[in-house]
Amino acid sequence: MDAATFAAELDTHRRYLLRVAQLQLRDNDLAEDVVQETLLAALGAQGGFTGKSSVKTWLTGILKHKIVDAIRRKQRQPIFAASFDEECDLDEFDPMFKDNGGWESPPADWGDPENALSRRQFFDMMDFCLEKLPPNTARVFMMREVMELETDEICKELTITANNLWVILYRARMSLRQCLEQNWFSGEGRGA
- pLDDT for 169: 93
26-79 tens-digit pLDDT: 788 989 999 999 888 888 887 777 777 778 888 888 898 888 888 777 655 555
Please state the rounded mean pLDDT for residues 176-187: 85
- pLDDT for 99: 75
Asked whether residue 114 carries a pLDDT value surpassing 80, the answer given is: no
CA distance 81 to 164: 10
- pLDDT for 34: 92
DSSP 101: S
Asked whether residue 110 carries a pLDDT value surpassing 80, the answer given is: no
- pLDDT for 3: 74
b/e code 90-124 from CB counts within 10 Å (16+ = b): eeeeeeeeeeeeeeeeeeeeeeeeeebeeeeebee
DSSP characters for 14-75?
A: HHHHHHHHHHHH--HHHHHHHHHHHHHHHHHTGGG--SSS-HHHHHHHHHHHHHHHHHHHSP
> Residue 97 forms beta bridges with which residues?
103
What domains sit in the chain, N to C, each tagged with a CATH number? 3-73 (1.10.1740.10), 81-185 (1.10.10.10)
Q: Who wins on pLDDT, 12 or 107?
A: 12
- pLDDT for 191: 43
126-149 tens-digit pLDDT: 888 988 888 888 888 988 887 788
Instruction: Read off the pTM.
Output: 0.53
CA distance 49 to 55: 8
CA distance 145 to 58: 17
Q: SS3 of 1, please?
A: coil
Please state the rounded mean pLDDT for residues 165-179: 92
